[in-house]
């Protein structure tokens, strides 16, 4: 049925361009590396135990090609999960790109997680390859005997790279000797050119597991690059920006830390562990001239703690995810970085990169915005990005219409970039990812067929299921305010216990 809504609210019947696949993020990255091979890609900050290390786009591209060829030669198939025992740094970037170039699915184990939790991740993911970053073993310890026993007895790995490390000259080593050479020796540095499509599974991320066993969420290639062009224009992001890598390595925000700058041809700045502390983090950002960062409210508090006299004038955008953002945290950041625009982003692991946003101008542009423009203490969830909608739905009406301004309802996220669903959990996938009842999906199928018939058939359509107008049922309660933005006001009663894991 067709729906009429106020012009201030999203139209649940609007075309969200379901077939506008931008291409795979690894191919976009490699194309930029060919155009600008000597441009700085990743820099690791010096610490008391290690020197500063910097690598170009060519070095990261070629090293990830080597890793991809190894995975393919070992028999890793398109869509197979490749698990990484990880550490924040350049090796993680190589690992991500190498897995994607082989057509595999990225999944991460945090060495700091207890063995039982690591085993749950392995059991859910059932990886066919294991990549152990050498620095993870050295800094956080080897895999425990308990985890190792599970791997040996329960998994059928096609390959294991026991000590992956990118050397200072840009060459990649795996840490295992075969016929007198390292396991990665002599492999091609050229791209393997493995084809993927919008519905190929690129990532396997886990919910927090607050309701019990963590669930594996299958992220699609569609959303890994789709929104970055719009973000670059809307938030003035460019290849000149210097992005931080601060997110927890086992949570999907780390994907933003890596994929956003690589899409733009920008720089990734990696702090040492020694720099992640009160005042030290702000000093590091100042010294490295950081311009863009992704933060949780908790990490934001570390950034501003004891740093009021430091100042980070280079920072122009801070994107907050992962928890409720309140005015106090915004004021504190503005005191340290007066040129910084603060963007509150709302979504979940299940929505992938498809999120809403609410932007607060910098203190220099509007020093009184928080006091004069926002009534509540929490920052609104805002409005959907390009081709993303937040639909506040009336739970009390069987027809499930959209709520008018001021009426509380349940938030559904509508976008082409939603995750595929939960790994090996069709029942929960069907419950949480629902067809859009406001419009007949056949409309988009027919339009896509016409578009495809007017030009050459895109190769990626081999891995495309066609338009699927789906909604993700968040379990969060929200309300439209007069501006058309959404404010979150709690959780739906019948959804208590479902984890909110924001990307």
**What are 206-258's pLDDT values in tens digits?**
987 555 688 999 999 999 999 999 999 999 999 999 999 999 998 888 999 99
Token couple for 211? 């309701």
287-301 mean pLDDT: 96
Domain with CATH 2.30.38.10 in the chain: 388-495
Residue 23 tokens, joined:
């291409």
- Looking at the chain, the domain(s) classified CATH 3.40.50.980 span 50-195
CB count within 10 Å of CB 74 equals: 16
Task: Write down the pLDDT at residue 499.
Answer: 34
Please check the confidence at residue 453 and state whether its pLDDT lies above 90.
no
Nearest to 415 by CA among 253, 227, 251: 227
Percent of the chain with pLDDT over 70: 95
- In the predicted structure, residue 464 carries a pLDDT above the cut 90: yes
Q: How far is CA 163 from the centre of its chain?
A: 25
497 pLDDT tier (thresholds 50, 70, 90): very low
**In this structure, are residues 394 and 401 in contact, taking their beta carbons and an 8 Å threshold?**
yes
Run of H or E including 414 = strand 408-415
CB 95 within 8 A of CB 127: no
Name the architecture of domain 388-495.
Answer: Roll (2.30)
pLDDT class of 498 with cuts at 50, 70, 90: very low
274 secondary structure, DSSP code: G
How many whole angstroms separate alpha carbon 193 and alpha carbon 108? 24
The confidence score (pLDDT) of residue 313 equals: 97
Kindly state the tokens that stand for 233: 């224009």
- Residue 210's pLDDT is 54
pLDDT at 322: 85
Integer Cα distance of 292 and 45 in angstroms: 17
* Half-sphere exposure for 315 (CA within 13 Å, toward CB): 34
CA distance 133 to 198: 29
The whole-angstrom separation of Cα 330 and Cα 343 is 10
Average pLDDT over residues 467-480: 97
Q: Is the pLDDT of residue 457 over 80?
A: no
- Residue 172 · residue 164 · CB < 8 Å: yes
Residue with tokens 């939790």: 117
Token pair for 223: 């959303």
Q: In the structure, what pLDDT confidence band is assigned to residue 79 with cuts at 50, 70 and 90?
A: very high
User: Residue 455: its pLDDT value, please?
Assistant: 64
Q: How confident is the model at residue 307 (pLDDT cuts 50, 70, 90)?
A: very high
pTM, full prediction: 0.95
pLDDT tens, position by position, 374-421: 989 999 999 999 999 999 999 999 999 999 999 999 999 999 999 999
For the domain spanning 50-195, the CATH number is 3.40.50.980
DSSP structural state of residue 195:
-
CB 97 within 8 A of CB 69: no
């Amino acid at each position: 049925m067709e729906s009429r809504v106020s012009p201030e609210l999203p139209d649940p019947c609007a075309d969200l361009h379901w077939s506008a696949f931008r291409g795979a993020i690894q191919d976009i990255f490699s194309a930029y590396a060919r155009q600008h091979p000597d441009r700085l890609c990743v820099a690791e900050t010096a610490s008391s135990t290690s020197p500063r290390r910097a690598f170009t786009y060519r070095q990261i591209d070629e090293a990830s090609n080597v890793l991809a060829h190894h995975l393919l030669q070992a028999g890793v198939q398109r869509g197979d999960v490749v698990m990484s025992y990880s550490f924040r740094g350049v090796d993680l970037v190589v690992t991500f790109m190498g897995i994607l170039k082989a057509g595999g699915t990225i999944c991460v184990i945090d060495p700091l997680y207890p063995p039982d939790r690591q085993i749950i991740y392995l059991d859910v993911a059932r990886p066919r390859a294991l990549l152990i970053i050498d620095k993870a073993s050295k800094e956080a310890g080897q895999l425990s005997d308990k985890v190792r026993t599970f791997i040996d007895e329960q998994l059928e790995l096609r390959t294991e790279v026991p000590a992956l490390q990118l050397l200072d000259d840009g060459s990649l080593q795996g840490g295992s000797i075969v016929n007198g050479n390292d396991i990665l020796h002599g492999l091609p540095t050229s791209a393997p050119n493995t084809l993927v499509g919008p519905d190929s599974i690129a990532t396997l991320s886990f919910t927090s597991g607050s309701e019990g066993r963590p669930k594996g969420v299958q992220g699609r290639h569609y959303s890994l690059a789709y929104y970055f062009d719009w973000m670059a224009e809307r938030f003035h992001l460019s290849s000149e920006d210097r992005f931080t890598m601060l997110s927890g390595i086992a949570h999907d925000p780390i994907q933003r830390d890596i994929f956003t700058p690589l899409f733009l041809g920008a720089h990734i700045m990696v702090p040492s562990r020694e720099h992640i502390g009160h005042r030290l983090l702000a000093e590091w950002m100042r010294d490295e001239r950081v311009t863009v960062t992704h933060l949780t409210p908790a990490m934001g508090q570390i950034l501003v703690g004891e740093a009021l006299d430091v100042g980070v004038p280079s920072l122009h955008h801070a994107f907050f995810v992962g928890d409720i953002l309140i005015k106090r945290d915004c004021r504190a950041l503005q005191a340290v970085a007066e040129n910084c625009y603060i963007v509150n982003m709302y979504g979940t692991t299940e929505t992938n990169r498809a999120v809403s946003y609410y932007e607060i101008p910098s203190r220099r542009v509007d020093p009184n915005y928080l006091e004069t423009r926002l009534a509540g203490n929490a920052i609104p969830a805002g409005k959907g990005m390009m081709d993303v909608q937040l639909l506040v739905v009336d739970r009390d009406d069987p027809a499930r219409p959209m709520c008018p301004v001021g009426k509380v309802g349940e938030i559904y996220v509508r976008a082409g970039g939603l995750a595929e669903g939960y790994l090996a959990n069709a029942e929960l996938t069907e419950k949480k990812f629902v067809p859009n009842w406001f419009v007949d999906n056949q409309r988009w199928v027919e339009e896509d067929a016409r578009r495809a018939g007017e030009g050459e058939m895109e190769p990626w359509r081999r891995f495309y299921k066609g338009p699927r107008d789906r909604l993700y049922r968040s379990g969060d309660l929200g309300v439209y305010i007069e501006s058309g933005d959404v404010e979150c006001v709690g959780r739906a009663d019948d959804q208590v216990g479902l984890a909110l894991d924001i990307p």
